[in-house]
């Protein structure tokens, strides 16, 4: 190659190196500026996070409080708070940062404030207001949020949508600080009806079925309205829906849920027989027992009516040995219930054997056989003593007989009394009934335990079933999985069900953006190095030729 060709080649190489240098410098400059912007944004992010940390701290307070917090930012800014989000807008640089907060135990009122070193937080009756404007005018058509802090109802805030200003002073009609059916007035404030938790504050007049809104603040609140949108597994129990809402606990909730094993005997708190009597275990009244185990009074036997078992009789009546319903210690004869005499109560023990349950009859029979065997072995015992021994084994209250005639007279009198003590009979029947009830309760308990154990087996199998969510089974359904439950807590895990609200998702996106800038720089530097090596190698090859 001649000198002219070498000169041209050198010029091309120099030009190429200049172009590569310009590209490298531009790339490095953009990366540096990007990193500076990221650092600057992190500075403002920290400022917004500090405000959220104050909100979270106030949420744990049990009483009303006013706080003045010094949060200094070296720039002009505007803070807007509404719909569970905080928007920070800055000028020079122009930034707009949005942060979400899960304020469950308080109702954060919407507000807007501009640059100031001290930010004031007002908490009153679960209402939180961040503002520098303490205006409350009830005579104009402007909704003033501070009226809620002063516990006043501004009518301008209570009809149409007003930037999510839900005032407890307007909703709570009876001023008992509790929202329930007593606060229904026919006026729906849509600001108090959303899918966010706002310290238990909502408007029961707005609860509408099939509108895709399950008001979480109505959780465990009786407002006389069953919201069908709350049915299913969503963590919200609408007790007005009863057994239709599977999120509701079925024990001691005021609802008799028979399909879950409740009845008047096992769950008297939920299944009270207000218009009858509990006869769940009475097989003699099966056709009259309702699903909760109650029987109306008209189907029970009154005093003097015929019966088979005491469960057929009305309250405080028992079925005596004659097969009639009578009060305790009384027996039916001569067309009425009469009181048992003392000697009748004593002699009733003899025929108690006939009225004992089968298992107790066998025990008594074994005891009698032992007595007979013992008497047979005693060869020196006379017939008179045998009679006395036999009688004394049956009734210790009968005295020894002095002669056969007296013995026969006593025996005839004894045989004439065949009516056992109604109280003793009833006690044994109650024992038998209690035994049946105990066995039934054990069976119900076993079935419930089995159901619970089956559920436990499902939870923990590393499979997120359709009936499981992150709330009731975090082992199988971590918040990183899509299960229609938004877990927006700061736990380092981005929940795909609420990417826009979970601060962990925002942080993850920011970290990815930071890493992408370094990747671009490394890629450009590698290309530059390869080009330089190719040019140098080509140059020396040409020179050698």
Report for 205-219, 463-477, 502-516: range of highest mean pLDDT: 205-219
pLDDT confidence of residue 214 = 85
DSSP 3-state assignment of 272?
coil
Peptide bond connecting 93 to the previous residue in cis, omega within 30 degrees of 0: yes
Number of H helices, E strands in the chain: 9, 14
259: Cβ contacts below 8 Å, ≥ 6 apart: 243
Classify residue 46 as left (phi > 0), alpha (psi -120 to 50) or beta. alpha
The residue that leads in pLDDT, 478 or 471, is: 478
Q: In this model, does residue 85 exceed pLDDT 50? A: yes
Compute the average pLDDT of residues 470-499.
65
What percentage of the chain reaches a pLDDT higher than 90? 8
Q: Is 80 helix (H, G, I), strand (E, B) or coil?
A: strand
C-beta neighbour count of 180 within 10 angstroms: 15
Q: Are 101 and 58 in contact (CB under 8 A)?
A: no
In angstroms, the CA 501 to CA 479 distance is: 13
CA dihedral 137→142→146→150, nearest 10 degrees, is: 40
Domain regions of the chain by residue span? 465-507
Q: Tell me the C-alpha distance between 454 and 460, whole Å.
A: 11
User: Nearest Cα to 52, choosing from 524, 544, 501?
Assistant: 501
**SS3 assignment, position 282:** coil
Per-residue model confidence (pLDDT) at position 352? 40
- Whole-model pTM over 0.75: no
Asked if residue 366 has pLDDT above 70, the reply is no
- For residues 251 and 247, what is the distance between their CA atoms, to the nearest angstrom? 12
Give the per-residue pLDDT at 134.
Answer: 84
Decide: 469 and 233 in contact? Cβ < 8 Å. yes
| Confidence at residue 324, expressed as pLDDT on a 0 to 100 scale | 94
Residue 143 has pLDDT above 70, yes or no: yes
Mean pLDDT over 412-430 rounds to 44
**CA–CA separation, 405 vs 390, rounded Å?**
17
Q: Which residue has the higher pLDDT, 501 or 389?
A: 501
Task: Calculate mean pLDDT across residues 253-270.
Answer: 82
Percent of the chain's residues with pLDDT above 70: 58
| Segment 144-150 mean pLDDT | 88
Q: Long-range CB contacts (< 8 A, 24+ apart) of 125-130?
A: 125/64, 125/151, 125/168, 125/169, 125/177, 126/168, 126/199, 126/200, 126/201, 127/167, 127/168, 127/199, 127/201, 128/55, 128/58, 128/59, 128/103, 130/51, 130/55, 130/79, 130/81
CB-facing half-sphere around the CA of 225: CA atoms within 13 A? 22
| Range 126-142 average pLDDT | 85
Q: Output the pLDDT for position 420.
A: 42
* φ/ψ (deg, to 5) at 107: -105, 105
In the beta sheet, which residues pair with residue 86? 81, 99
Which range, 145-159, 280-294, 378-392, 504-518, has the best average confidence (pLDDT)?
Answer: 280-294
Q: How far apart are CA 73 and CA 80, in angstroms?
A: 16
HSE (side-chain half, CA atoms, 13 Å) at 432: 16
Is residue 168 within 8 A of residue 183, CB to CB? The reply is no
Read off the pLDDT of residues 212-239 as tens digits, 9 standing for 90 and up.
Answer: 888 888 888 888 888 888 877 778 888 8
Band of the pLDDT at 427, cuts 50, 70, 90? low
Burial 404-417 (b: 16+ CB within 10 A, else e): eeebeeeeeebeee
H/E run at residue 415 = helix 404-416
The DSSP secondary structure of 135-158, one letter per residue, reads ---TTSSS--THHHHTT---GGGS
- Beta-ladder partners of 306: 324
Of all helices (H) and strands (E), which one includes residue 520? helix 503-544
Number of Cβ within 10 Å of residue 210's Cβ equals 8
Residue 296 binned pLDDT confidence (cut-offs 50, 70, 90): very high
Q: Is the pLDDT of residue 456 over 50?
A: no
| Residue, of 194 and 360, whose pLDDT is higher | 194
| pLDDT tens per residue across span 297-315 | 899 999 999 999 999 999 8
The DSSP annotation for 205-221 comes to GG--TTSS---GGGTT-
Question: Mean of the per-residue pLDDT values for the chain?
Answer: 71
Q: 337 pLDDT exceeds 90?
A: yes
pLDDT grade, residue 380 (50/70/90)? very low
Question: Of residues 381 and 305, which shows the higher confidence score?
Answer: 305
How many other C-beta atoms lie within 10 A of the C-beta of residue 522? Answer: 10
- List own/partner pairs for 195-200 with CB under 8 A and 24 or more apart: 196/83, 196/84, 197/102, 197/103, 197/104, 197/105, 198/103, 198/106, 198/107, 198/108, 198/166, 199/103, 199/104, 199/105, 199/106, 199/107, 199/126, 199/127, 200/105, 200/126
The Cα 423–Cα 339 span in angstroms is 11
* Alpha helix ranges (H) inside 167-265: 168-171
Coil vs helix vs strand at 46: helix
What per-residue confidence (pLDDT) applies to 392?
Answer: 40
Query: What is the pLDDT at residue 451?
Result: 40
Can you give the pLDDT at residue 364? 47
HSE-up (13 A, CA, CB side) for residue 226: 11
Most confident of the following: 240-244, 324-328, 352-356, 401-405: 324-328
Residue 99 DSSP label = E
DSSP 291: T
User: Is the confidence at residue 60, as pLDDT, over 90?
Assistant: no
Task: Evaluate whether 237 touches 265 at the Cβ level (below 8 Å).
Answer: no
């Amino acid at each position: 190659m001649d000198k002219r060709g070498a000169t041209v080649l050198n010029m091309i190489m120099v030009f190429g190196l200049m172009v590569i240098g310009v590209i490298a410098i531009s790339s490095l400059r953009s990366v540096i500026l990007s990193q500076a912007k990221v650092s600057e944004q992190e500075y403002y992010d920290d400022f917004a996070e500090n405000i959220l940390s104050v909100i979270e701290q106030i949420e744990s307070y049990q009483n009303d409080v006013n706080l003045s917090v010094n949060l200094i930012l070296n720039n002009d800014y505007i803070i807007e708070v509404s719909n569970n989000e905080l928007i920070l807008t800055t000028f020079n640089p122009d930034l707009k940062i949005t942060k979400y907060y899960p304020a469950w135990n308080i109702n954060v009122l919407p507000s807007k404030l501009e640059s100031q070193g001290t930010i004031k937080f007002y908490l009153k009756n679960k209402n939180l207001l961040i503002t520098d404007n303490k205006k409350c005018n009830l005579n104009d058509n402007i909704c003033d949020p501070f009226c809620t802090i002063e516990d006043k109802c501004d009518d301008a805030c209570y009809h149409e949508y007003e930037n999510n200003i839900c005032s407890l002073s307007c909703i709570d009609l009876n001023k008992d600080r509790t929202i329930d059916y007593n606060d229904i007035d026919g006026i729906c404030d849509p600001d108090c009806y959303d899918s966010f938790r706002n310290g238990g504050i909502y408007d029961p007049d707005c609860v509408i079925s099939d509108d895709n809104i399950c008001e979480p603040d109505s959780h465990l609140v009786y407002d006389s309205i069953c919201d069908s949108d709350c049915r299913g597994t969503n963590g919200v129990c609408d007790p007005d829906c009863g057994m239709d809402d599977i999120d509701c606990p079925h024990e001691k909730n005021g609802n008799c849920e028979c399909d879950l094993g409740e009845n008047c005997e096992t769950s008297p708190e939920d299944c009270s027989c207000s218009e009858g009597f509990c006869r769940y275990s009475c097989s003699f009244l099966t056709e009259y027992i309702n699903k909760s185990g109650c029987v109306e009074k008209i189907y029970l036997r009154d005093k003097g009516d015929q019966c088979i078992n005491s469960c057929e009789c009305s309250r405080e009546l028992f079925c005596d040995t004659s097969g009639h319903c009578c009060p305790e210690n009384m027996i039916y004869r001569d067309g009425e219930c009469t009181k048992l005499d003392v000697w009748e109560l004593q002699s009733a023990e003899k025929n108690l054997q006939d009225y004992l349950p089968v298992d107790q009859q066998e025990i008594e029979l074994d005891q009698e056989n032992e007595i007979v065997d013992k008497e047979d072995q005693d060869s020196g015992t006379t017939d008179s003593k045998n009679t006395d021994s036999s009688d004394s084994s049956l009734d210790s209250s009968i005295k020894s007989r002095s002669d056969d005639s007296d013995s026969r007279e006593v025996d005839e009198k004894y045989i004439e009394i065949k009516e056992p003590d109604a109280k003793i009979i009833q006690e044994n029947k109650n024992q038998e009934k209690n035994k049946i009830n105990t066995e039934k309760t054990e069976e119900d308990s076993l079935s419930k335990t089995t159901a619970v154990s089956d559920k436990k087996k499902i939870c923990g199998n590393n499979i997120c079933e359709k009936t499981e969510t992150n709330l009731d089974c975090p082992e199988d359904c971590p918040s990183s999985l899509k299960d229609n439950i938004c877990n927006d807590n700061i736990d380092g895990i981005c929940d795909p069900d609420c990417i826009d609200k979970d601060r962990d998702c925002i942080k993850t996106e920011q970290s990815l953006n930071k890493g992408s800038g370094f990747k671009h720089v490394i890629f450009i530097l590698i290309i530059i190095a390869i080009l330089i090596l190719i040019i140098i190698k080509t140059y020396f090859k040409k020179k050698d030729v």
